[in-house]
Amino acid sequence: MANIASAKKRARQAVVRREHNKMLTSRMRTAIKKVLVAIQSGDKAAAVDAYRAASSLVDSSVNKKLIHRNKAARHKSRLNARIRSMH
């Protein structure tokens, strides 16, 4: 447990930031799952719309340093490939 005032403050800030980062990460994952659900249902238009929203959130996560840019590129590439392979 922190004894110095500045260390106590840093501990409080870490809790707030962890919760905020968790919310942002969860929102990104949910958006990715929505794309996958739309692909499973076979609705290409819905999948493209969901992909557009998910892509924006993934890029936003990179800017906030929640995920690495290569991971973001991998997510976007795989989702886009699955959408393109739809009939």
Taking only Cα atoms into account, the Rg of the chain, rounded to an integer number of angstroms, comes to 17
DSSP class of residue 67 equals: S
Domain span including residue 56: 5-84
**CATH code for the domain in which residue 65 is found:** 1.20.58.110
For residue 87, pLDDT over 80 is answered with: no
For residue 1, pLDDT over 90 is answered with: no
Number of structural domains (the chain) is 1
Q: What's the pLDDT tens digit per position in 21-78?
A: 999 999 999 999 999 999 999 999 999 999 999 999 999 999 999 999 999 999 999 9
- Name, in order, each residue with C-beta under 8 angstroms of 72's C-beta and a sequence gap of 6 or more: 58, 59, 61, 62
